[in-house]
Amino acid sequence: MKFVSHIKSYVKRNGRITTSQKKFLKKKEYDNNFFIISKKNLNYKELFNNSNPCVLDIGFGDGKLLISIAKKFPEINFIGLEVYESGIGNILCQIDENKINNIKISNLDAVEALNNHINDKSLFGISLFFPDPWPKKKHHKRRIINDQFIKLISTKVKKNGFIKITTDWSNYADIIIKLFDHNNNFKKAHEIYLYKNRDITKFEKRGILLGNKITELSYFLN
């Protein structure tokens, strides 16, 4: 399954970059933890120098949750995708400070990466924490999770691999649930062990303060 074309689920904005983030952004092309996906077929063994299972984290934000999960599970590799420079600079700093060697990050668009660089049936799992909900109805077409996207990720995850999604927008959650319910490739799970007792993200805290319901969705691939 491949997208012929897609509407990007994000709009690049020039956010505030701290001095520390700038330091790591300036040298990111020379940082072993940052890579530009150029190969048609991404080889995880070459990327991480091991054969551990690999999880794709889409839109890691400030990176704190991804860092905490990677620290808890050093036997699993994580590829983090983020298009915003502030998030990239922040996580490169955290990787350096924590001496983490099981995270690699890229700024490539997630759909492009899945379409063109991720081998079929190669991922242990995919996570999307608080994807942009695009709350206005006229913008719903920008939401990353739709029928085509679910069909696409079903081809990239190994049998019994997982999909983990969280959102604080009830309307988005209802649509996601319906999409998975109509796709026979997935079965609902109570939780994915990697994310039990996970840290609360910045976006999650904001959603809670606004009184939004946090919906956690977990699925295994049949």
pLDDT tens, N- to C-terminus, the chain (222 residues)? 555 456 565 455 555 666 655 655 555 554 566 655 556 788 999 999 999 999 999 999 889 999 999 999 999 999 999 988 888 888 888 998 999 999 999 888 999 999 989 999 999 999 999 998 867 778 588 799 999 999 999 999 999 999 999 999 999 999 999 999 999 999 999 999 999 999 998 888 888 998 899 999 999 999
Give the integer Cα–Cα distance in Å for 142 and 201: 22
- Vertex 114: Cα angle to 112 and 116 (nearest 5): 65
Q: Which of 10, 134, 141 is nearest to 81 (CA)?
A: 10
Number of helices (H), then strands (E), belonging to the chain: the values are 8, 7
Give the integer Cα–Cα distance in Å for 74 and 78: 10
Give the integer Cα–Cα distance in Å for 219 and 160: 9
Q: Return all residues near 172 (Cβ < 8 A) that are at least 6 apart.
A: 131, 133, 143, 145
What is the residue extent of each domain of the chain?
Answer: 54-221
Which residues are marked as active site? Answer: 132
* pLDDT for residue 88: 87
Give the integer Cα–Cα distance in Å for 179 and 52: 30
Q: Are 121 and 53 in contact (CB under 8 A)?
A: no
* pLDDT for residue 31: 53
* pLDDT for residue 30: 44
* pLDDT for residue 4: 44
**Range 54-221: architecture per CATH:** 3-Layer(aba) Sandwich (3.40)
